[in-house]
Structure 1
């Protein structure tokens, strides 16, 4: 029996309710969305948090990686998502190039995401090096989700999409990053592509929730990219090891579209039930007038 709350009865998720979930040990469910429909379904399915991830560069805009997406792109998509998410806590990604130059730049970009994109919080990648940016944004009154481990915006510096923290030195660096973003005021931190045991230890050492993506079950919550977990992508596309495919939206959509095409070709669609009724008398009168006009023109 489904005991999840109905969307219409849900109270909006706030930073306070997220902290309460964390204190109670209730896992936090986060999912990405990139437009109104994907946010609407995530909100209807009672997601606690919706992340407008810069992954939309690939899944919605056809770019090769996240680095090409701009702050203006993110604002447009955040605005679309925020219109649909009536209960979930919406977080928008600060894209590459919008926060690295200075803490002041980070604050200006975060303010734009909140004021123009209508998000409730922002996420940025980086640990110790970006603590000043996190501190500046939180001082401006904007909640920050930090992101450490595999940080896709810095894949070139990391040598590609590789798991992080697989050595003692690497794990200690992650813990240092985690402490640093916590101290800077982040209210939550995403741990990406980290061995489960390391992520669990880091989670235990912090007093803010961790959200895992490829970081095992010891985190305070989980996040996945919606198109990955719903199977809404072309066959043969590489999926990260940590993705579990919960549906096959691509196959279902393709099947329906192929059937539509076939029925158009055979004139099976539209059938009578898909058309608007009109009396035979009116049709006959219209035909008569048209025929008469045609007779005069010749």
Structure 2
């Protein structure tokens, strides 16, 4: 790792610690200070636009993001939260990390900031693949853990790549005490629970101080009103994220697009105390921000 990256990570973690303390003290002034701090550290026009948008949302009297940020600052283990902020925020910081290489000139696709690694579970091959992708600028990885051996492999890999973030779509088997303690100690794993397993596991996740989320498929949504009620239940259980996934075979179905449109509306308005995202569409949106930054390097 380059010296400037180590230094930048340390700076981000120090600022994150201050931001968390400010959020714990509460108040609108502290919230605005956090947004200004993040905006001041961002390099590209894309990130500046993003933080300006967030500032505008935080000024709305009925937004719920203030409560969400305050809850995260108080409920998530502080070292875990600082690690996630540093790992996810490094790309936004001037000279913070290796830029995602623009390889269009060579006719190949550019590296993505987040890559799914569902098909590799051999520890040696997985380590090699992640190391290669890290060098190309990838900082986050998506896994689906169905069995305990898979989960153990992923946690072991997360320990070897502490500068990355591992999004983990998983079930109740991931929430035994030993696994949760390891996730908290690592600080770079974000479990995304299926709704059916969230209620029986949420208390353990919250007690461990882990930032966790909900994983849903658009085809599971009965109605938009029912889904909003479901999200309120998830918030009451301590959930911070709601990540939705569509069908790769039919990405333009009318129902899926209607759900995604409502998701965007709720997110932009801060309508609920949870951050909502579309797994693949927002992966593309973040990629565009990162490529804007890379173009200035």
TM range (shorter): 0.3 to 0.5
Structure ranking higher in helix proportion: 2
Q: Which of structures 1 and 2 has the larger relative contact order (alpha carbons within 8 angstroms, sep 6+)?
A: 2
Which is higher, the Rg of structure 1 or of structure 2?
1
Tell me the TM-score normalized by structure 2: 0.45
Tell me the TM-score normalized by structure 1: 0.45
